[in-house]
Structure 1
């Protein structure tokens, strides 16, 4: 089996190691990012929904940056939303701040009943920038 090429954002490696997963893995020119939530440095949820959504994107962007990417490199997004009927309007106020201009990535939204105390999770796949000479 090949060694996984794991990407860790600065300052959060212990959190991922404690929870036994990788924040992102590079493979075949793509970056596969684990679902990101609005967690504080200690892993606890940001209590307010709008702030939690922003923090999820901050956490996501830290991983993308560590891999040499931006949200513009994201090609596929999966959103997990607890109680989308009551939270979607708030989330759509925050998403455009981070989403950028069209064309946008593909999107799958999934309503869920529980996210370990969080209201929102975002999982993405990004195309890694080409290395010099590629």
Structure 2
């Protein structure tokens, strides 16, 4: 059995944070892109204190990873989000989501309530189909 090497994708900047925590922003496998969970951190890696701004930053981080692989949110087929208080956070998440994801058809979406996100209150990960080169 031949094992292929991981094809890692990184957006510009923040490489020190990926190295420090020993993970890739995304892995390309064939025509699929598997994006690691993105949080709403400030440039120094600390959590954005305002919840809605934290969600917007997480979506922006996801967008930068997608862009590094030649993708956009239109290419996203599956999303998983993690929430520390889903009931109280739902409206803010939906406002940001609607401004980024756009109109139907929507990607698959699974939301999970969790008790710990390393100081964050929201995390988003995704799978996207990488568009064929034009």
Q: TM-score range, shorter-chain basis?
A: over 0.9
Deviation at 1:40, TM superposition (A): 1.3
Deviations 1:57-92 (A, max 9, x none): 110000000000000000000010111111112211
Deviations 1:68-120 (A, max 9, x none): 00000000000101111111122112111111111000011101111111111
Deviation at 1:131, TM superposition (A): 2.6
Local SS of the residue matching 2:118: coil
Q: Does 1:73 align with 2:75?
A: yes
For residue 112 of structure 2, what is the aligned residue in structure 1?
A: 110
CA-based RMSD of the aligned residues comes to 0.9
Deviations 1:3-36 (A, max 9, x none): 2111111011111011100000000210000000
For residue 54 of structure 2, what is the aligned residue in structure 1?
A: 52
Query: Scaled by the length of structure 2, what TM-score is found?
Result: 0.95
Matches within 5 A, 1:117-128: 117-128=119-130
Q: How many residues align?
A: 132
Distance 2:119 2:84 in 1: 10
Unaligned runs of 5+ in 2: none
Query: Scaled by the length of structure 1, what TM-score is found?
Result: 0.95
Deviation at 1:2, TM superposition (A): 2.1
Q: Which runs of 4+ in 1 moved over 6 A?
A: none
Correspondent of 1:93 among 84, 91, 95? 95
Distance 1:66 1:13 in 2: 13
